[in-house]
Chain A
Amino acid sequence: MRKIKPLLVMAFLFSGKLLLAQTIITGKVTDSKTGDALQNASIVVKGSSNGTSTDNNGTFRLSVQENAVLVVSSLGYVAKEVTVTGNLVNVALASSGTKNLDEIVVVGYGTKIKKDLTGNIAKVKGSDVQNMPVTNFNQALQGRAAGVFVEANNGKVGEGVKILIRGSGSISASNSPLYVIDGVPISTNTGSGNALADINFNDVESFDILKDASAAAIYGSRAANGVVLITTKKGRSGKTNFQVNTQYGRNKPTHLRGFLDASEYVSLLREAATNSDNIDGIDPTDPAQYSGSWLEFAERRLTRYSGWSDWRKLETNTNWEKLAFNDDASTASIDFSASGGNDRTKFYTSFAYAKQDGILIGNNFKRFSGRVNLEQMVSDRFKLGVNLSLTQSVAGRVPVDNEFTTPMQIVALSPITPLRNLDGQVYNSPTTTYSNPYVDFTDGKFKSITFRNIGNVFGQYNFTPSLFFRSEFGIDIQNQNDDQFYGFRTAYGNGSNGYGESDWFRGTDFNINNYFTYKKKYNAKHDVEAVAGMSYQKYNSEYANVYGEQFPVETLRKLASAGLIKGGTSRESNSAFLSYFARANYKLNNRYLFSLSGRVDGSSVFGSETRYGFFPAVSAGWVLSEENFLSGSKLLSFLKLRGSWGLTGNADGFGDFAHLGLWGGSSYNATGGLVSTQIANPDLKWEKSNQIDIGIDFGFLNNRISGEIDYYRRKTEDLIYNVPVPSTTGFTNKTVNIGAMENKGIEIVLNTDNVISKTFKWSSNINLSFNKNKILKLDGDQTIIPGNDGRYLNSLIVGESIGVFYGPRYAGVDPANGDALFFEQDGKTTTNSYNDAGNFIVGNPNPKMIAGFGNTLNYKGIEFSFLFQGVFGNQVQNGGGGFMTAGFDWFDNQTRDQLNRWQKPGDVTDVPQLRLGGYGADGISASSRYVYDADYIRLKNITLAYNIPSSILKRVKLSSAKFYVTAVNLLTITDYPGWDPEVNTDYRAGNRNQGSDFYAAPQIKNISFGLNLGF
Chain B
Amino acid sequence: MLFFASWSKKLDIDPTQSVNEDAVFTSDANIKAALNGAYDVVSSGELAGGDLQLYSELLGADGEISWVGTFNQPDEIFNKSIITTNSFVRDTWSEAYRAINICNSIIANIAVANADDQDMIKGEALFLRGYMYFELVKLFAKPYSAGNVTSNLGVQIITTPTVNGQVASVHKVPRSTIEQTYQQVISDLTTAKSLMSDDYGVYAGKYAAAGILSRVYLQMGDYAKARDEANDVIENSGASLEAPYSKAFNNTAPSAEDILVLPITAQDGVNDFHTYWSIADYGARDGDVEINQQHLDLYDPADSRLALFFDYGGGYFYSGKWLLQYKYIPLLRLSEMYLTRAEANFRLGTTTGADPLDDVNTVHERAGLSALAAVTIDDILYERHQELAHEGQRIHDMKRLHQSADGFEFDANELVFPIPQREVDAVGPTILLQNPGY
A contact residues vs B (CB 8 Å cutoff):
300, 303-304, 428-430, 434-435, 491, 494-496, 534, 536, 538, 549, 564, 566-567, 571-572, 574-578, 602-604, 608, 611, 656-657, 660-682, 724-732, 734, 781-782, 784-786, 788-791, 834-835, 882-883, 890, 892, 918-920, 924-925
Residue ID in chain A nearest B103 by CB atoms: A730
> Which of B18, B39, B426 is in CB contact (< 8 Å) with A673?
B39
**9 further contact pairs, Cβ within 8 A, besides A430-B280, A679-B165, A781-B428:** A428-B280, A571-B16, A656-B13, A662-B15, A668-B202, A669-B268, A675-B38, A727-B93, A918-B81
9-residue interface stretch from B70-78, B368-376, B392-400: B70-78
Contact assessment for B98 and A682 in the assembled complex, using a CB-CB cutoff below 8 Å: no
Contact assessment for B24 and A674 in the assembled complex, using a CB-CB cutoff below 8 Å: yes
Q: How many A-B residue pairs have CB under 8 A?
A: 251
Contact assessment for A578 and B83 in the assembled complex, using a CB-CB cutoff below 8 Å: no
Residue ID in chain B nearest A670 by CB atoms: B268
Compute how far the CA of A729 lies from the CA of B21 in the bound complex, rounded to whole angstroms: 14
Contact assessment for B165 and A664 in the assembled complex, using a CB-CB cutoff below 8 Å: no
Compute how far the CA of A456 lies from the CA of B140 in the bound complex, rounded to whole angstroms: 60
Contact assessment for A668 and B266 in the assembled complex, using a CB-CB cutoff below 8 Å: no
Compute how far the CA of A782 lies from the CA of B158 in the bound complex, rounded to whole angstroms: 23
Tell me whether B62 is interfacial, beta carbon within 8 Å.
no
Q: Which of B256-282 contact A (CB under 8 A)?
A: 263, 265-269, 279-282
Tell me whether B146 is interfacial, beta carbon within 8 Å.
no
Contact assessment for A300 and B315 in the assembled complex, using a CB-CB cutoff below 8 Å: yes
For A578, the chain B residues whose CB sits under 8 A away are 7-8, 10-11
23 sample A-B contacts, Cβ–Cβ < 8 Å, listed by A number: A303-B314, A430-B316, A577-B11, A656-B15, A657-B15, A661-B20, A662-B18, A664-B18, A669-B202, A672-B33, A673-B35, A674-B37, A675-B41, A676-B105, A677-B18, A679-B167, A681-B165, A726-B423, A728-B170, A729-B97, A730-B100, A730-B104, A835-B438
Contact assessment for B39 and A576 in the assembled complex, using a CB-CB cutoff below 8 Å: no
Q: Taking the nearest CB of chain A, how far is it from the CB of B1, in angstroms?
A: 13
Compute how far the CA of A682 lies from the CA of B22 in the bound complex, rounded to whole angstroms: 13
Compute how far the CA of A447 lies from the CA of B171 in the bound complex, rounded to whole angstroms: 47
Contact assessment for B102 and A730 in the assembled complex, using a CB-CB cutoff below 8 Å: yes
For B24, the chain A residues whose CB sits under 8 A away are 663, 674
Contact assessment for B11 and A602 in the assembled complex, using a CB-CB cutoff below 8 Å: yes
Contact assessment for A729 and B86 in the assembled complex, using a CB-CB cutoff below 8 Å: no
Q: Which of B86-104 contact A (CB under 8 A)?
A: 86-87, 93-94, 96-98, 100-102, 104
> Which of B76, B265, B266, B283 is in CB contact (< 8 Å) with A495?
B283
Contact assessment for B421 and A786 in the assembled complex, using a CB-CB cutoff below 8 Å: yes
For B97, the chain A residues whose CB sits under 8 A away are 727-730
> Which of B86, B161, B203, B428 is in CB contact (< 8 Å) with A669?
B203
> Which of B269, B282, B325 is in CB contact (< 8 Å) with A668?
B269
Compute how far the CA of A681 lies from the CA of B20 in the bound complex, rounded to whole angstroms: 12
Tell me whether B19 is interfacial, beta carbon within 8 Å.
yes
Given contact pairs A430-B316, A434-B286, A726 touches B40 in the complex (Cβ within 8 A): no
For B425, the chain A residues whose CB sits under 8 A away are 724, 782, 784-786
Contact assessment for A725 and B426 in the assembled complex, using a CB-CB cutoff below 8 Å: yes
For B284, the chain A residues whose CB sits under 8 A away are 495
Residue ID in chain B nearest A432 by CB atoms: B286
Residue ID in chain B nearest A574 by CB atoms: B13
Residue ID in chain B nearest A605 by CB atoms: B13
Compute how far the CA of A575 lies from the CA of B418 in the bound complex, rounded to whole angstroms: 42
Contact assessment for B98 and A676 in the assembled complex, using a CB-CB cutoff below 8 Å: yes
Q: Which of B171-195 contact A (CB under 8 A)?
A: 171-173
For B279, the chain A residues whose CB sits under 8 A away are 430
As a 0/1 sequence over residues 309 to 328 of chain B, the CB contacts with chain A under 8 angstroms (1 = contact) are: 00011111000000001000
Q: Taking the nearest CB of chain A, how far is it from the CB of B295, in angstroms?
A: 13
Q: Taking the nearest CB of chain B, how far is it from the CB of A457, in angstroms?
A: 21
> Which of A496, A729, A789 is in CB contact (< 8 Å) with B162?
A729
Residue ID in chain A nearest B33 by CB atoms: A674
For B164, the chain A residues whose CB sits under 8 A away are 661, 680, 682
For A575, the chain B residues whose CB sits under 8 A away are 13
By CB atoms of chain B within 10 A, which of A603, A660, A668, A785 has the most? A668
Q: Which of B390-438 contact A (CB under 8 A)?
A: 418, 420-423, 425-428, 432, 438
Q: Interface extent on B, as a size class? A: 35 or more
Contact assessment for B167 and A670 in the assembled complex, using a CB-CB cutoff below 8 Å: no
Contact assessment for A790 and B72 in the assembled complex, using a CB-CB cutoff below 8 Å: yes
Contact assessment for A890 and B70 in the assembled complex, using a CB-CB cutoff below 8 Å: yes
For B170, the chain A residues whose CB sits under 8 A away are 728
Contact assessment for B269 and A434 in the assembled complex, using a CB-CB cutoff below 8 Å: no
For B423, the chain A residues whose CB sits under 8 A away are 726-727
Residue ID in chain A nearest B35 by CB atoms: A673
> Which of A300, A491, A662, A668 is in CB contact (< 8 Å) with B314?
A300
Given contact pairs A494-B281, A668-B36, A676-B98, A662 touches B12 in the complex (Cβ within 8 A): no
Compute how far the CA of A608 lies from the CA of B11 in the bound complex, rounded to whole angstroms: 9
Q: Taking the nearest CB of chain A, how far is it from the CB of B236, in angstroms?
A: 24
Contact assessment for B79 and A682 in the assembled complex, using a CB-CB cutoff below 8 Å: no
Compute how far the CA of A883 lies from the CA of B69 in the bound complex, rounded to whole angstroms: 12
For A536, the chain B residues whose CB sits under 8 A away are 7, 10
Residue ID in chain A nearest B16 by CB atoms: A572
Residue ID in chain B nearest A781 by CB atoms: B428
For A571, the chain B residues whose CB sits under 8 A away are 16-17
Q: Which of B225-273 contact A (CB under 8 A)?
A: 263, 265-269
Residue ID in chain B nearest A409 by CB atoms: B70
Tell me whether B163 is interfacial, beta carbon within 8 Å.
yes
Compute how far the CA of A835 lies from the CA of B43 in the bound complex, rounded to whole angstroms: 31
Compute how far the CA of A773 lies from the CA of B165 in the bound complex, rounded to whole angstroms: 31
Contact assessment for A662 and B98 in the assembled complex, using a CB-CB cutoff below 8 Å: no
Tell me whether B85 is interfacial, beta carbon within 8 Å.
yes
Given contact pairs A660-B20, A672-B36, A918-B76, A430 touches B286 in the complex (Cβ within 8 A): yes
Tell me whether B52 is interfacial, beta carbon within 8 Å.
no
Contact assessment for A730 and B161 in the assembled complex, using a CB-CB cutoff below 8 Å: yes
Compute how far the CA of A724 lies from the CA of B422 in the bound complex, rounded to whole angstroms: 8
Contact assessment for B87 and A572 in the assembled complex, using a CB-CB cutoff below 8 Å: no
Residue ID in chain A nearest B13 by CB atoms: A604
Q: What are the 8 tightest A-B residue pairs by CB atom distance, in nearest-first order?
A: A730-B101, A495-B283, A673-B36, A673-B37, A680-B165, A661-B21, A675-B37, A662-B18
> Which of B173, B263, B421 is in CB contact (< 8 Å) with A788?
B421
Given contact pairs A495-B283, A661-B20, A668 touches B40 in the complex (Cβ within 8 A): yes
Contact assessment for A662 and B167 in the assembled complex, using a CB-CB cutoff below 8 Å: no
Q: Taking the nearest CB of chain A, how far is it from the CB of B139, in angstroms?
A: 14
Contact assessment for A789 and B37 in the assembled complex, using a CB-CB cutoff below 8 Å: no
Given contact pairs A430-B287, A728-B156, A728-B173, A790 touches B87 in the complex (Cβ within 8 A): yes
Contact assessment for B98 and A730 in the assembled complex, using a CB-CB cutoff below 8 Å: yes
Residue ID in chain B nearest A836 by CB atoms: B438
Compute how far the CA of A920 lies from the CA of B203 in the bound complex, rounded to whole angstroms: 42
Contact assessment for A429 and B266 in the assembled complex, using a CB-CB cutoff below 8 Å: no
Residue ID in chain A nearest B81 by CB atoms: A920
Contact assessment for A731 and B98 in the assembled complex, using a CB-CB cutoff below 8 Å: yes
> Which of A603, A663, A790 is in CB contact (< 8 Å) with B21?
A663
Given contact pairs A536-B7, A669-B36, A882-B72, A604 touches B21 in the complex (Cβ within 8 A): no
Tell me whether B30 is interfacial, beta carbon within 8 Å.
yes
For A670, the chain B residues whose CB sits under 8 A away are 263, 265, 267-268
By CB atoms of chain B within 10 A, which of A538, A682, A784, A790 has the most? A790
> Which of B36, B100, B280, B432 is in CB contact (< 8 Å) with A429?
B280
Compute how far the CA of A88 lies from the CA of B265 in the bound complex, rounded to whole angstroms: 84
> Which of A435, A574, A791 is in CB contact (< 8 Å) with B16?
A574
Contact assessment for B21 and A727 in the assembled complex, using a CB-CB cutoff below 8 Å: no
As a 0/1 sequence over residues 34 to 61 of chain B, the CB contacts with chain A under 8 angstroms (1 = contact) are: 1111111101000000000000000000
As a 0/1 sequence over residues 281 to 306 of chain B, the CB contacts with chain A under 8 angstroms (1 = contact) are: 11110110000000000000000000
Contact assessment for B19 and A663 in the assembled complex, using a CB-CB cutoff below 8 Å: yes
As a 0/1 sequence over residues 355 to 380 of chain B, the CB contacts with chain A under 8 angstroms (1 = contact) are: 00000000000000000000000000
Tell me whether B152 is interfacial, beta carbon within 8 Å.
no
Q: Taking the nearest CB of chain B, how far is it from the CB of A598, in angstroms?
A: 16
Tell me whether B352 is interfacial, beta carbon within 8 Å.
no
For A834, the chain B residues whose CB sits under 8 A away are 81, 83
